[in-house]
Chains A and B, each alone.
Chain A
Amino acid sequence: MTVVPARSSEWVRPVTSREPASAIIEIDRVSQVFQTSARKDHVALSDISLTIEEGAFVSILGPSGCGKSTLLYIVGGFVSPTSGTAKIKGHAITGPGPDRGPVFQEFALFPWKTVLGNVVYGPRQQGVRAAEAEAQSRTLIEMVGLKGFENFYPKELSGGMKQRVALARTLAYHPEVLLMDEPFGALDAHTRTRLQNDLLNIWERDRKTVLFVTHSVDEAVFLSDKVVMMSKSPGRIRQVIDIDLPRPRRRNELLLDSRYQKYVVDIERMFDDGDEGGPAS
């Protein structure tokens, strides 16, 4: 297992087992300072540098409040960093765009639209014809396990169901980069496993770049090519770990795989060694 020290000065791009891919997202010495109501500056992110290769599945792991969401917002173009730059395909990120699809921790569904209305919104905005957009959306809704709920309004759904709609809504407009903020946080273990598998299948098929925030170590190891471990106050990258496990990954095989187990145990130990304690669960 390759453990790459992550202090920006020592950052070395890891050698992946696959053909060399080009960087799609480059985060260069990004810091984010928030002015809090107490008029004190709060450093949410400090000197973050990270390169994400096209088609890579990268997880961000870290305790609550370490700036995972903030980092995702910067890549999404929703927040501009206090200092440093973020680039997509060599261009500085200046705002949101359909090439980066966010799945927010708070879902942010459109409450006046039904499940179908929410999912169809993106493709329609992109100019996909109504009938086609609807057919695709129905397939996606079925995939996230919400067949039969197409005409429900968000208020009529449980938290986990809303989360699945949010996922389908973003997948529907085919962003090149998925920015997922704890998308499976509110799901029961069974649905969570199913959606992890579905997400992996989609990912194996289109090789979208995924930036995936999670609290769960095994989820991160199971899904990712690379796990970025963050620490808190100020939010920094502690370590970037390449997950060198074969794909396609099958959950039942992987659970028995000693390499997988070692990654999980090592990452958990690294969190325990840190002064911040383990990732909040």
Chain B
Amino acid sequence: MMSPAALIRRAAPVLACLGLLAVWQVASLVLKNDSFPTAIDAIRAIPDILGDKESLINILASLRRMAIGFGVAVLVSIPLGLLMGRSRGVAAFFNPLLMVIYPVPKAALMPIIMLWLGVGDVTKTLVIFLGVSLPVIYHSFEGAKAVEEKMLWSGAAMGLSPAQRLVRIVLPAALPEILTGCRTGLVLALITMITSEMIARQSGAGNILFNALDMGQYDTVFAMIIIVGAMGICLDAIFERVRARLVRWSEPQFDMPLSFS
């Protein structure tokens, strides 16, 4: 049996969604604007999109680019961030570079990348890669920097080489921080995915959305927003589960009452 408090905590996200939809429904009924369909109309349009083969191919293509961009970014950024956190030389080399790239909206780089690489998968995946890389590098860097020196000394005394220490001590010790970066990266991957498809229309979820907008199919536009939003929520929830499992050893043991985390 769940306690009432736990029940409320479980039900809270669902209630929040239902509340949002209710407000939407009322607002659109009051405003009576063609470009603002009711929540029910938008939800009705969802099965049409998901049932359409063409749309489905588009959405899957988006997800594939996102998975590749995110995966490659994580595989490159974690080692780079860890090395930067443990080696002054590596940090000194990459820091200025990253400081320049950091504030630039990655989508703003797209026209240039499109010029070089065309409007295909490579360009869009590259933009996703860039969007994900920075938070993952940053958090890996911070995590590696904060690793307690005596822990590394203990490893060294046991005979671990510097490379082994990086993989077997710095990596696990920094994992909570790294995964925080990955979680931010995941949301950014979704955002850059849609943005890239908005700029270089050709395929993808963003393509469906903006085509529908051009053609004034506002039901579809809002249905796509719901679909993309739901994708984001699901991916984040799955990631959060995996994360919590991987770093159970570091989580505080008790929920703090009244915390907003």
B153 touches A98 (CB 8 A): no
B157 within 8 A of A: yes
Measured between beta carbons, the chain B residues less than 8 angstroms from A112 are 172-173, 175, 247, 249-250
Measured between beta carbons, the chain B residues less than 8 angstroms from A170 are 157
A102 touches B157 (CB 8 A): yes
A111 within 8 A of B: yes
Q: Considering the complex, which residues of chain B in the window 145-165 have a beta carbon less than 8 Å from any beta carbon of chain A?
A: 148, 150-151, 153-154, 156-160
Give the bracket for the number of chain A residues in contact with chain B: 20 to 34
Contact code string B204-239 (vs A, CB < 8 Å = 1, else 0): 000000000000000000000000000000000000
Nearest 9 Cβ contacts at the A-B interface: A108-B150, A96-B156, A112-B172, A122-B158, A96-B157, A153-B249, A104-B150, A125-B158, A98-B159
A101 touches B169 (CB 8 A): no
- Which residue of chain B is the closest to A156 with respect to CB atoms? B253
Measured between beta carbons, the chain B residues less than 8 angstroms from A109 are 151
- Which residue of chain B is the closest to A103 with respect to CB atoms? B154
Shortest Cβ distance from residue B155 to the other chain A in the assembled complex, whole angstroms: 8
B157 touches A100 (CB 8 A): yes
Interface of chain A, main secondary structure: loop
Ordered by A's residue number, 18 sampled pairs between the chains whose C-beta atoms are within 8 Å are: A76-B157, A96-B153, A96-B156, A98-B158, A98-B159, A102-B154, A104-B153, A104-B154, A108-B148, A110-B173, A111-B250, A112-B173, A112-B250, A122-B158, A125-B158, A126-B159, A155-B249, A173-B158
A65 within 8 A of B: no
A184 within 8 A of B: no
Contact code string A120-141 (vs B, CB < 8 Å = 1, else 0): 0110011000000000000000
Measured between beta carbons, the chain A residues less than 8 angstroms from B154 are 102, 104, 108, 110, 169
Shortest Cβ distance from residue B169 to the other chain A in the assembled complex, whole angstroms: 7
Measured between beta carbons, the chain A residues less than 8 angstroms from B249 are 111-113, 153-155
Residue ranges of B at the interface with A (Cβ–Cβ < 8 Å)? 148, 150-151, 153-154, 156-160, 169, 172-173, 175, 247-250, 253
A5 within 8 A of B: no
- Which residue of chain B is the closest to A98 with respect to CB atoms? B159
B151 touches A125 (CB 8 A): no
Taken together as a complex, chains A and B put the C-alpha atoms of A154 and B154 apart, in Å, by 15
B175 touches A106 (CB 8 A): no
Measured between beta carbons, the chain B residues less than 8 angstroms from A102 are 153-154, 157
B153 touches A108 (CB 8 A): yes
Contact code string A66-83 (vs B, CB < 8 Å = 1, else 0): 000000010010100000
Given A112-B172, A155-B253, A97–B157 Cβ distance below 8 Å? yes
- Which residue of chain A is the closest to B246 with respect to CB atoms? A112
A73, A96, A153, most chain B CB atoms within 10 A: A96
Taken together as a complex, chains A and B put the C-alpha atoms of A170 and B154 apart, in Å, by 9
- Which residue of chain B is the closest to A125 with respect to CB atoms? B158
A102, A106, A112, A170, most chain B CB atoms within 10 A: A112
Shortest Cβ distance from residue B178 to the other chain A in the assembled complex, whole angstroms: 12
B156 touches A111 (CB 8 A): no
B148 touches A106 (CB 8 A): yes
A95 within 8 A of B: yes
B253 touches A106 (CB 8 A): no
Shortest Cβ distance from residue A6 to the other chain B in the assembled complex, whole angstroms: 28
B159 touches A125 (CB 8 A): yes
A84 within 8 A of B: no
A175 within 8 A of B: yes
